[in-house]
Amino acid sequence: MSIISREGRSVLIHDMCLRDGMHAKREQISVEQMATVAKALDDAGVALLQVSHGGGLGGNSLQHGFALHSNEEYWDAVGDVITQATMSTLLIPGLGTMDELRTAYSHGVRSVHVATHCTEANTSPQHIACARELGMDTTGFLMMAHLNSPQGLAEQGKLMESYGAQTVYITDSAGYMLPEDVVSRVTALKDVLDDDTEIGFHGHNNMGMSIANSIAAIQAGATRIDGSVGGLGAGAGNTPIESFVAVCERMGLATGCDLFKLMDMAEDIIFPMMEHIVRVDRSSLTMGYAGVYSTFLLHANRIGKKYGIPSRDILVELGRKKMIGGQEDMIEDTALTMLKDRGLNVAV
């Protein structure tokens, strides 16, 4: 059984502002901002909020960027202000460790997304088992889910369930899916998972489909939805929670959230925090269309300017090569190869 209360909620909303939103902020969210956002989420009745470096546990690195503060400082700041919400984090095996997960637990984290590529669930058994041993609400998080078939994804989800995951997520990391893609994958998971294993959906808005996809997931049997207030997240952002809650209320789906508080929070807290407008623009739309990992956006824009190559061209090539999370270093290699193929010299 999950440790998260479902009372009064037919849909459990999990906010990503303080983890996925770190990508949009180049990992530069302060502890003061963390506390402000977390308190507002808590006041609005959001059940779960994810807190960490954008890459999760072990994310601080040259490849992924360095945050202003440690995860421990972020967890402590958030833990001091929340009263009803549960704090979660992200663990990608090979980046984060079980020792770091134990540290997270000691700082008040009680839920975790154990995240793998959609064909690599077999990298997660030890980490899922560790989370369960700690008594955490434990999710198997299958990233870039459009790169696996519904049947293949179901097999991966069944593996995660066998390791101890209480929820299995379809993660549309690229914002590539259409509603029928989501329905086919949720249905395939529902057909093989135990009745008490929940299904979640994490969408990105790169083609403007995140709310439609999240609703499609619910209608097919998902009970957990990730999003972020104001859509603060990688690429064109996550499913904007305030809009999603409004749609849920129109549909009679109980979220336990206060819609007007979420609307005010987006306007008064989140939008002023944004360094750039998180929206569907030329680059983020290209990511969704080409099926590119959402966290590549700012990297591709920066490297495109560095070498004088349109970021759209780089993103399309990354999509053709089916690059996945963890291959951020290949963005610059790809740009250099494109320069060579175009007969251009690299400026020194």
Catalytic residue among 14, 23, 204, 299: 23
Q: Is 276 a catalytic residue?
A: no
3-state secondary structure of 93: strand
Q: Report how far apart, in Å, the C-alpha atoms of 323 and of each of 108, 150, 170, 318 are.
A: 34, 20, 18, 6
The residues pairing with 113 across neighbouring beta strands, listed in sequence order, are 90, 139
Compute the distance between CA of residue 308 and CA of residue 90 in angstroms, rounded to an integer. 35
Residue 156 CB partners (closer than 8 Å, separation 6+): 118, 119, 120, 121, 142, 148
Only one residue has tokens 């959001």, namely: 46
167 near 199, Cβ under 8 Å? Answer: yes
Residue type, 36: T
Q: DSSP E strands: which ranges in 92-162?
A: 111-117, 137-143
Helix or strand (DSSP H, E) at 23: helix 20-24
3-state secondary structure of 199: strand
Closest listed residue to residue 328, CA positions, set 282, 304, 297: 297
56 near 63, Cβ under 8 Å? Answer: no
Closest listed residue to residue 118, CA positions, set 162, 90, 151: 151
| Residue 254 CB coordination number (10 Å) | 13
> What positions carry a catalytic annotation?
23
